[in-house]
Structure 1
Amino acid sequence: MTGVVPADRGTAGPAQHPGQEDAAWAARAREELAQADAGFAARFDADSDIDRLLAERAAAVDALVQAAWQRCIPAEAELALFAVGGYGRGELYPQSDVDLLVMAAPAASQAHADDLARLFAVLWDSGLPVGHAVRSLGQCTEAAVDDITVLTALLEARPLAANEHERRELQAAVSPRVVWPPQAFFEAKRDELVERHARYGDTADNLEPNLKEGPGGLRDVQTLHWIALRVIGTADMESLVAFGQMGADEVATIERERRALARLRYGLHLVAGKREERLRFDYQKLLAARLGFEDSGGTLAVEQMMQGFYRSASLVLRIGERLLQRFEEQLQGEAEPEPLDGLFELRRGYLAARDADWPHAPSEVLALFETWACRGETRGLHSHTARALAEALPDFPDFANADDELRRQFLGLLRGDQPVRSLTRMARLGVLGRWIPAFQKVSGRMQFDLFHVYTVDQHTLAVLGYMQAFASGERDPRFALVHEAWPRLRKPELLLLAGLFHDIAKGRGGDHSELGADDARAFCLAMGLGESDAALVEWLVRKHLLMSMTAQKQDIADPDVIHRFATAVADRERLDHLYLLTCADIAGTSPKLWNAWKDRLLADLYSATRLALRRGLEHPLAAEERSAETREAVRALLVGQGMAASGVDALFARMPAVGFQRGRADQLAWQGEALRDAAPGSTVVRVRQVPAHAGALEVFVHSPDADGLFAAIVATLDRAGLAIQQARVLDGPGDTIFDTFEVIPADTRHAPAAGDVETRLARALVGPLEDIRPARRTLPRHLRHFRIAPRIAFDEADNGRTTLSLVCTDRPGLLADVAQTLRNQGMRVHDARIATFGERAEDVFQITATTSDGRDRPLDPARQQALSDALLACLEGDAP
C-alpha cells in the first residue's frame, strides 16, 4: 500500500531545519499509517482472511521503513537492513513490535551512527514501536550462541534493504554448522516450551488466557515452525507431509486453529488499543461483540468465543505433542520396540500400537487405555498411535450405540487401576467426548464469572482427581474426614460416575442438576448397572449442591437444620457419597475456594448428620438434650484441665445458655478457660489457630455490650487482612456479648499470626469504638466486569429477630462497610453467615432494631425500607 509512504512534498515559506523536515515527514507517515490501519480494521470486521491482513499490514510497514531508510541512510553506506522476529515472518498485528536488524561491520556502523539514530527516531515518531539491533556478522553469531531467542528471531530474517549476498551471509552466520545444531536446538526449544507452559499452570484453560505465550497459543505453533526449520530444513507445514512428519489432516487442523488464534489476537489488539496478549476480562465482551458472537440458548456470547479458544488451544497442544515426538525420532532414530502384549509395545518409553493399521475395532481403543493403566508411568502415547486414534474417533460409537462388550470394557476401566487417570487420558484424546456426547458439549465451555476458574470439562477432571486422591488412603490434612468416609463406599465407581455427570448439563438452559441427573440415570441403565446403583448416581447428581448450600447458608448448629438435611439424605450411604462429592466439587472449582472454614463446616455437618441417621429420623435431637450433652462434654474438658467442679458451674452461669445448643464442646471449653481468670465486666479477646489449616483462625470476643461493637470488631479484622467466613453473636448474662468469628487471611502470602490479631483487636476495643472505621479500598480490576445487581430481602425469624439476606458483588471490605451501615441505622447483629462464590457475596444476618426503651425488636416495614436504602447507597459506593 504505497499510500502509507509519505511523499517528500515541499512546503511554502522559509526552508525548514532537517529536524523539522523529519518531524513533518514522520507526522504525515503516522497519519497515513493510521488511515491504513483503519482500513485493515474495517476489513477485519468484514471477516477478511486473517493471513492476508497480517501480510498486507507487514507490507505496508515495509514500505514506510524502506522510505525512512532511503531518507536517512546514504545510498553508499555499507549497511544492510532486515526484518526479524514475527515481522520478519511477514505477519504484523496492529500493536506488535517492529523488530529490525541492521547488519554492518563495526567501522560502518560507527561511521553511520548518527544516520541510524536519525532513522530510529523518525520511525518512532511515525508511530512504529521499533525494536532494533545493530550487529556485525560475528556479533550475530555470538548473540545467537548466547541466547537461543536471538537465533529464532534471526531464523526468519527478511531483507528490507539488503541484497542476496548479505542475506546468505546472515543465514550462514547462524547456520546449524556454526550455532545450535539440530539436536541441541530441539532440546532447548522443547525445554523452553515446557517451562513456558509451567508458568501458565500447564493449562490453556485460564480465565484470562495469554493468546501468544500460553499453552496452546500462537507461540506453540511458532515453536513447531522453528524446530521444523532447524531439524527438517523447512518451516512449511505442507512440506512436512512430504517428509512424513505430519498427516494432511494434522496440517489442516493446526493451520485452521492457528488462523482462529490469529484472528483472536488481531481483534484483541484492536479492542485493547495497545500491545496486549492476555485476553483479560476487560476485553472479552468487547472482542466477542466485535467478532459477531451473540447470546444464544442460555450461553453468553463471550462464553461461546472463549469455548472456541479453549478448543483451538487444546488441538494445538495435542498435535504439537505428536510433532515434537516425531522430531525427536528424526534426530535419534527408531529404537528397538519393547512388546507388551498382542496389541501394544513401548517405543522409547511411549506406548504404541504394534500394528500399523490399528485399531481394527472400538474394543481395541479401550484396550489401549487398559494397557496404559497397567503400565504405570510412561512418556505418553506414541505420536503415530495418537494420530491413528484421532483418525478412528469418527467411527468410535457412543455408549447408547455400543455393544455390551464395549460397555463392560468401560466399566472395567472405572473399576480397575487408576480409573481417573484413564478418564483424564480419554478426555484429552477426545475419546470420552465420543463415548459420552454430552461431555463433548461441555469441553472447553467456560462460565463468565470468577467462581468457576476452569472450563466445565477441566473442572470435572479436577473433581475426579480429588476423588483419586481420596482413594489413595493417605490422610490429607485439608480434608478432615474423607479418609474415614472413602473406605465405606460399596462401589467407588458410582462416586466417579456422579463426579463425571454432576456438571455435564451446564449451558443447556434449565437446572443443570436436574438435566444432568436424567443423563446420569440413562447412562447407568444403558451400562447395565442395577436400579439401586443407577438411583444413587442419579440422586447424587441431582443433589450435588445440597450439602454445600446447607453448610454455607444455614446454621448447622441448629438441630432443626440437621434434621431437615438428614431427612433429605435419608441414609448413610448417600451421606458418605455426597460428602466426598461435595469436598471434591468445591476443591476442584478453584484452587482458592477450599479453605479451613469450608472443611470444618462440611465435617461438622457430616458428623452431625451421621449421628442423626444413627439415632433414627423419628427421634430428632431436641435442643435441651443437645444442650445437656454439650454441657457435660465441656465440663469434662475443663475438669481435665484442672478446674474444680464448683468453678465449672460458676463459669457456666456467666456463659449464654444458647451457646450450649449451638457451639462445639472444644470451642466452649476454650472460651470458658479464657473467662476463668477474667473479672466480670472486663473485655476478653482470644484468637487461636484452626488445627491443620495454616492461616485459618477462630476469634472470640467477650465484652460488655455497646453500640457499634460488632462493626468495630469487623472493621478491625478487615484492617488486619482477615476475611470473615462466619460470625456468631450471642447475648450473655449481665448485658455482655459472646462473639465468635471464623476468619481466613484475605491474602495467604501475608497471613497474620494469632497473637498479633489478638493484640490488635484487644487494643482497638478498649478505645472509642466510633473511631474504628472501615478501610477505604479501590475495587480490584477483575471485579469491575462482574457487577451483580444488589438484592436485599427481609424475613421474620422465629426468635423475634429479622433475617436480612443480602446478595451483591463481593469486594474487599464489603462486610466492614455493611456492618458500619447496620451500626449507623441502629441495628444489632445477632448472627451472620458470610458466603462468597467468586464475585458473588451471599450474606445472611439476624438483626434487631434498638427501640427507645432499650429493647430489641424485629424491624417494622419503615425500618426495613430505611435500612434497605442505606445498604443500597453503601453498595453503590457511597460512604456508609
Structure 2
Amino acid sequence: MSTPAAADEPSARLPEWQPAGADAGWAAAARAALAATDAALAARFDRNDDIDALIAERTRAVDAWVRAAWSRCIPADAPLALFAVGGYGRGELFPHSDLDLLVLAEADAQAACHEAIARLFALLWDAGLAAGHAVRSPAQCTQAAREDITVLTALSEARPLQADAAADARLRAAIAPTLAWPPREYFLAKREEQRARHARFDDTSDNLEPNLKEGPGGLRDVQTLRWMALRVLGARGLQPLVALGQLGADEYATLERERRLLSRLRYGLHLVAGKREERLRFDYQKALAARLGHVDAAGSLAVEQMMQGFYRSAALVLRINERLLQRFEEQLEGEAVPEPLAAGYDARRGYLHATDPGWPRGVEDVFALLAVWAAHPQLRGLHSQTARALAEALPRLPDYPRADATVRARFMALLRGPQPVETLARMARLGVLGRWIPAFSRVSGRMQFDLFHVYTVDQHTLAVLRNIAGFAGGVADPRFAIAHEIWPRLRKPELLLLAGLFHDIAKGRGGDHSELGAVDARDFCAAHGLSEGDTALVQWLVRQHLLMSVTAQKQDIGDSDVIHRFATRVADRERLDLLYLLTCADIAGTSPKLWNAWKDRLLADLYTATRLALRRGLEHPPAAAERVAETRAAVRAQLLAQGLEAAEIERLFARIPETGFLRGRVDSLAWQAAALRGIEAGASTVRARPLVQHAGALEVFVSAPDRDGLFAAIVATLDRLGLAIQQARLLDGPGGQVFDSFEVVPADGQRIVAADEVERRLSAALAIADLDGIRPARRTQPRHLRHFRLVPQIGFGLSADGRRTVLSLVSTDRPGLLADVTRVLRRQRLRVHDARIATFGERAEDVFQITDERDRPLADPQQQQALRDALLACLEGEQRP
C-alpha cells in the first residue's frame, strides 16, 4: 500500500510526551521478545503443533507490540485509527510475513499528527517489524481502491488494532461496492488476475521449484475464493458458503485440510530459509523435508515424499477453486438456460452438466460423460455441480480389475474415439484415471529429485501423450523430422497411447520401472480384451522404451554393428515405428529444454538405418567394405549433382579417411569434401553450417595438421563461444591431417552463434602456435546444480577392434566440464579419437575413445589410475586443470 512521503520520514521530531532516548531500549526489548516468541513457536512447529494455532499466536504477539508502539507514540486523544490490512489483517502472520498497516485519519489529523506517525513506524522498524503502511482518509481509501483492485482487496481484510466501531464502519463504508468495484466487476477482474498469475507459472503447480503462495493451487488461490465470497456474497470466510449452498461440506473440509498443509509448508519454508521465501527452491527442499519429519524410504526420497504431498494438495485446491468460481459466476449471471447435448447431458453456460440428480450411478456413467465431452470440443469444462458429484462418487468407483468387461470396453472406446489424449488428461485432472488405474494414482504428484525430469511423473506422462497427439495432427511439426510420415502407417494408434500411459507408471517402486511397468501394461491390456499380439507389443514398448534413446545417444550409430544389434532387438517394422514415436514423445515431454536438433536428427538417422537393416534382412548384415562402397557412391552422386568433375571427386576422396565412409553421413561427407576444394594438402580449413532447421544447432568441420592439444583447443574455443558439444568424431586423415566433425548446440539454449563466427574464431585458434594457451572460460556454477552432486564414476574398457581405450565418465554437469576434461586428457598426454557427450539434467554421461601419444590403448593399470586420479581431482573441484 502506498505511503505519503512525510509519514515515512525517520528523522521527524519526536512528540513531547515520550523521551527520545527511551525508544532505543524499548525497541531492543521488543526485538528480543519477538525473537524469543518466534523461537518458541519454531520449537512447537517441530513438535507438530497445530499450524493455525502457531500462526494465530504469532499474530497476537505482533499485535501486542504494535499496539504498545502505538500507545507509546500516538496521544490517546488523537483522531487516528489503526488497522491491520492484507494478510496481517486476515490474521495470517508467518515467521517472515509482510506487515501491512493502515492509519485512518482525515487530512487535518494527518497533518497534525505527522511527527507522531513517523515516529511510530520508525519505532516499529527498530523493533524488527518493518511494516508497509499507508496513511489515508476514508475518501482517500475510496479513491485508492477505485484505482487499484489490490488496494481494495487489502482493505477488505482490515482488522481494527486501535480503532473504535465508528472508525471501522467508516472504513467499510469507504470501500462499499457502490463506491468501488461492484461484485460483478470485482469477480471478473480477480478471475482474470488469477488466470494471469497461473500463466506466469505455465499454468501448472508441478514445477520443480513451485511457489507455495502465488503458484497454481497455492495459498493465493484459497485467498482469492475468500475475497470473492466477501465481495459477491458478503460472506466473511468460506465456511458460511456451506449454509448458503455454494460450497459442499466435503469441499470446505478438503479446502481447509489442504490450506493447513500448504500453510505448514510455508511456515517451515520461512524457518528453513531464515527469510520471507515463498518458492520451494532446491536450496531448501531437503532441509524442509527433514524438518517436517520425512525420511528416505526404498524408491522414495524424503524430499520426493514432501513434494508429492504438495503437488496433490495443489491439485485439490485447483479443482475446488474451479468449481467455486463457476458458482460465483452463476450467482452473478443468473441461472443458465440448458442446451441439450445428448441423452442425460446438457450444456449450461458452456459447461457440461449431467441432468440426472443421481449421477453418476456407476463408472459407466463417468465414461459416458467423457465421451459426450470429447464429442463437443467447444465446451468450456465440467459444470460445478457435476464436478462435485463426480468428486463425491470417486471413492465408490471401481478400478479396472473389479469392473466388468462392458465397462472396460467403454474405456477402450474412449481411447479409440475423438480427442483421446484430452480425455485422458481430463480423467487425470478429475482423479478418475487414478481410480481406474491404481498404479497411476501412486505416481500422481510424484516428483523425482533431479534436473532431468522437470515434471511430476503423471504430468510427464500427459506431456508424452500430448506429443503423441501432435503426431496425429496431420501437420508436420518442425521439431520432429519424420514423425508425421510414420504416424499414418500405424495399425492401431491406441497401442502407442497405452505404451505412453504405462511407460513410467512404475516409477518409485524400486527396481527397474521399465520391467515393472511392462507387467502392469500386460495385465491392463489383457483385462481390456486386447489380442495376445497387441498385448505383447504394448508390453515390449514399455519394457524397451529407453532402448532407442540410449542407443542413439550413447553408441556410435554410424557403426553398422551397432545398427545390426539394435535392429535385431527391434525385429520388425511395426515395433520400430512405434518405438521411434514413443522415444521422440518421451524425450520431448521430459523437459522443454531437452529436445533439440541433434536428438531429432540422431533418432531419425537411427530409425532410417534400422529400417534399411530390417529391409535387407537381419541374417545379412552388411560388411564394412560394402558399407564403404555404398557411401562413396552416394557421396559421389551428390558431388556430381553439384557440378564437380569425376577426377576432382576422386582427388577429394583421397583426402578423406576410409573410416569416414564407414561411419559418416552421406550429406555430411559431401559437404566436407566440398569444403576441401581449393585447400592445399597440409593446410587448415574450418567450416560450420546449420545442423537442421532448428535455431542454434550447428555442424562444425575441422581439417588441420594434427598436433597434440588440438582437440582440447577446439573444445575450449567452442566453450568460449557458448556452444555445447553433443557429438565429436575425430578421424586421422591422410598426410597427418585430422578430419574432425562436431555437432553443437547453444549451451544456454538461447544465444544463437552464427556459423561464420564459429569459423572465424576456430580458424584464429588453429593459427596459434601454443595451443595449450587456449583455456576454457570460467563460469559460476548455476545455483540449482549445487544441490545435485553426483559421485563421479570413471570406467575403462577396450574398443571392439582392440585398438583404443574406451573411457566412460559420469558426473555432475557444470559449465565448461567438457573443456576441463579435455585439458586433463591433454596433460596426461593422451589423444582423443571419438567422443559422445550426453547430458541428462544435472547428470553428464560422456564416452571417449582414447590412446596414448603413440596411438596405443592404455594397457598399463598405473596409467589408467593416474588418469582416474587426475579426472577425479578435476570433477570434485580439488584442482582446476
TM over 0.5: yes
- Residue 17 of structure 1, CA deviation: 10
Q: Which residue of 1 aligns with 2:724?
A: 723
Q: Structure 2: how far apart are the matches of 1:709 and 1:624? A: 30
Contact 1:473–1:483 (CA under 8 A) maintained in structure 2: yes
Equivalent residue, structure 1, for 2:411? 410
* Corresponding residue for residue 813 of structure 2: 810
SS at match of 1:676: coil
| C-alpha contact (below 8 Å) 2:691/2:743 kept by paired residues | no
Q: Give the deviation of 1:129 after TM superposition.
A: 2.6
Q: What does residue 541 of structure 1 align with?
A: 542
Amino acid at match of 1:724: I
State whether structure 2 residue 573 is matched by structure 1 residue 572.
yes
Q: Which amino acid aligns with 2:752?
A: A
Indicate the residue corresponding to 1:863 in structure 2. Answer: 863
- Per-residue CA deviation, residues 216-255 of structure 1 (Å, 9 max, x unaligned), is 0000000000000000111322210111101100000011
1:121 correspondence with 2:94: no
Task: Point out the more displaced range, 351-360 or 158-167.
Answer: 351-360
SS at match of 2:377: coil
Residues of 1 paired with 2:451 and 2:361: CA distance? 45
Which is worse superposed, 461-470 or 234-243?
A: 234-243
Does 2:292 align with 1:299? no
Question: Whole-Å Cα distance in 2 between the matches of residues 333 and 82 of structure 1?
Answer: 36
Alpha-carbon distance between aligned partners in 2 of 1:77 and 1:283, rounded to the nearest angstrom: 46
Q: Counterparts in 2 of 1:316-331, with a 5 A limit?
A: 316-331=317-332
> Partners of 1:585 and 1:857 in 2: how far apart?
37
How many angstroms apart in 2 are the aligned matches of 1:338 and 1:414?
27
Answering whether residue 290 of structure 2 is matched by residue 289 of structure 1, we say yes
C-alpha contact 1:271 1:287 (8 A) present in aligned 2: yes
Per the TM alignment, residue 394 of structure 1 is displaced from its structure 2 partner at its CA by 1.4
State the alpha-carbon separation in 2 of the partners of residues 127 and 637 from structure 1: 76
**AA matched with 2:651:** A
Counterpart Cα distance in 2 of 1:235 and 1:703: 78
**How far apart, in 1, do the equivalents of 2:81 and 2:56 lie?**
22
| Matched-pair contact (CA < 8 Å) for 1:73–1:119 | yes
Structure 2 partner of 1:10: none
Aligned-partner Cα distance in 2 for 1:81–1:757: 65
Q: Is the 8 A contact 1:848 1:857 kept in 2?
A: yes
Deviates more, 1:607-616 or 1:18-27: 18-27
1:842 partner SS = strand
State yes or no: 1:497 paired with 2:494.
no
Corresponding residue of 2:136: 135
Instruction: After TM superposition, list the pairs within 5 Å mapping 1:343-358 onto structure 2.
Output: 343-358=344-359
Q: CA deviation at 1:538?
A: 0.3
After superposing the two structures, state which structure 1 stretch, 306-315 or 642-651, moved more. Answer: 642-651
CA apart distance, 1:771: 1.6
Alignment of 1:786 with 2:788, yes or no, is yes
> Any idea what SS the aligned residue of 1:335 has?
coil
**SS of 1:667 mapped into structure 2:** helix
Name 2:830's counterpart in structure 1: 827
Pick one of 825, 837, 840 that aligns with 1:837: 840
CA distance in 2, matches of 1:693, 1:464: 23
Deviation at 1:777, TM superposition (A): 1.5
CA distance in 1, matches of 2:67, 2:393: 52
What's the counterpart of residue 698 of structure 1?
699
Q: Distance in 2 between matches of 1:362 and 1:37?
A: 51
- 1:425 paired with 2:453, answer no
Displacement of 1:377 in angstroms is 2.1
Deviation track 1:541-598 (CA, whole Å, cap 9, x = no partner) reads 0000000000000000000000000001111111101000000000000000000011
User: Do 1:687 and 1:699's aligned partners in 2 also have CA atoms closer than 8 Å?
Assistant: yes
Structure 2 Cα separation of the partners of residues 454 and 610 of structure 1: 33
- How far residue 58 of structure 1 moved from its aligned partner, in angstroms, is 0.5
CA distance in 2, matches of 1:353, 1:857: 73
Does the 8 Å contact 2:502/2:518 carry over to 1? Answer: yes
Stretches of structure 1 lacking an aligned partner (at least 5 in a row): 1-15
Is the 1:774–1:820 contact (alpha carbons within 8 Å) kept by the matching residues of 2?
no
Residue identity matched to 2:375? C
Counterpart AA for 2:806: T
CA distance in 1, matches of 2:860, 2:49: 63
- The alignment partner of 1:544 has SS state of coil
Work out the percentage of aligned pairs sharing the same amino acid.
Answer: 70
TM-score calculated relative to the size of structure 2: 0.97
Equivalent pair of 1:424/1:461 in contact (CA under 8 Å): yes
Matched, 1:796 2:795: no
Shift of 1:749: 2.7
Query: What amino acid is aligned across from residue 164 of structure 1 in structure 2?
Result: A
Instruction: Please say if residues 593 and 749 of structure 2, whose CA atoms lie closer than 8 Å, have aligned partners that are also in contact.
Output: no
Q: 2: distance between equivalents of 1:643 and 1:347?
A: 71
Alignment map for 1:355-366 (pairs within 5 Å): 355-366=356-367
Structure 1 segment 765-776 matched on structure 2, within 5 A: 765-767=766-768, 768-776=770-778
| Offset of residue 764 of structure 1 | 1.7
- How far 1:816 sits from its partner (Å)? 0.5
Stretches of 4+ moved more than 4 A in 1? none
> Is the Cα contact below 8 Å between 2:858 and 2:864 reproduced in 1?
no
Match of 1:110 in 2: 111
| TM-superposition CA deviations, 1:55-95 (whole Å, max 9, x none) | 11001000000101111111122111100000000110000
Amino acid at match of 2:236: A
Q: Is the 8 A contact 2:18 2:73 kept in 1?
A: no
Q: What TM-score do you get using the length of structure 1 for normalisation?
A: 0.97
Give distance in 1, aligned partners of 2:738 and 2:772: 18
Question: What is the DSSP-based 3-state SS (H/G/I as helix, E as strand, rest coil) of the residue aligned with 1:795?
Answer: strand
The superposition leaves residues 186-218 of structure 1 with CA deviations (integer Å, 9 ceiling, x where unpaired) of 000000000000000000000000000000000
Q: CA deviation at 1:857?
A: 4.2
1:88 aligns with 2:81: no
Matched, 1:678 2:679: yes
Q: What is the 5 A alignment of 1:616-765?
A: 616-765=617-766
The answer on whether the counterparts of 1:72 and 1:119 sit within 8 Å (CA) in structure 2 is yes
**1:449 aligned counterpart, secondary structure:** coil
Unaligned runs of 5+ in 2: 1-16
Confirm or deny that 1:485 pairs with 2:479.
no
Residue 859 of structure 1, CA deviation: 4.5
- 3-state SS of 1:726 partner: strand
Q: Name the residue aligned to 2:875.
A: 875
Query: C-alpha root-mean-square deviation of aligned residues, in Å?
Result: 1.2
- Maintained 8 Å contact 1:850/1:857: no
State yes or no: 1:264 paired with 2:265.
yes
Structure 1 position 856, deviation (Å): 4.1
Report the equivalent of 2:218.
Answer: 217
C-alpha distance in 2, partners of 1:411/1:19?
A: 79
1:371-390 alignment, distance < 5 Å = 371-390=372-391
Question: How far apart are the structure 2 equivalents of 1:857 and 1:864?
Answer: 10
Task: Name the SS for the 1:727 alignment partner.
Answer: strand
Structural mapping, 1:447-466, within 5 Å: 447-466=448-467
CA distance in 2, matches of 1:815, 1:740: 16
| Distance in structure 1 (CA, Å) of the matches to 2:751 and 2:642 | 34
CA contact (8 A) 1:572 1:610 kept: yes
Asked if structure 2 preserves the Cα contact closer than 8 Å seen for 1:848 and 1:859, the reply is no
Q: Distance in 2 between the 1:599 and 1:460 partners?
A: 20
- Whether the 8 Å contact between 2:500 and 2:582 is mirrored in structure 1 is yes
* 1:96, distance to aligned residue in structure 2 (A): 0.3
C-alpha offsets along residues 770-808 of structure 1, whole Å, 9 cap, x if unaligned? 221011122111001000000001112224110000000
Q: Deviations over 1:300-339 (max 9, x none)?
A: 0000000000000000000000000000000010121001
AA partner of residue 501 (structure 1): F
Number of residue-to-residue matches in the alignment: 863
* Partner residue in 2 for 1:850: 853
Q: Which residue of 2 aligns with 1:144?
A: 145
**Whole-Å Cα distance in 1 between the matches of residues 476 and 566 of structure 2?**
27
**Partner of residue 207, structure 1:** 208
Q: SS at the partner of 1:748?
A: coil
1:850-871 Cα distance to aligned partner (Å, 9 max, x none): 14xxx54434212111111111
Deviation at 1:747, TM superposition (A): 2.2
Give the conservation status (yes or no) of the 8 Å contact 2:18–2:72. Answer: no
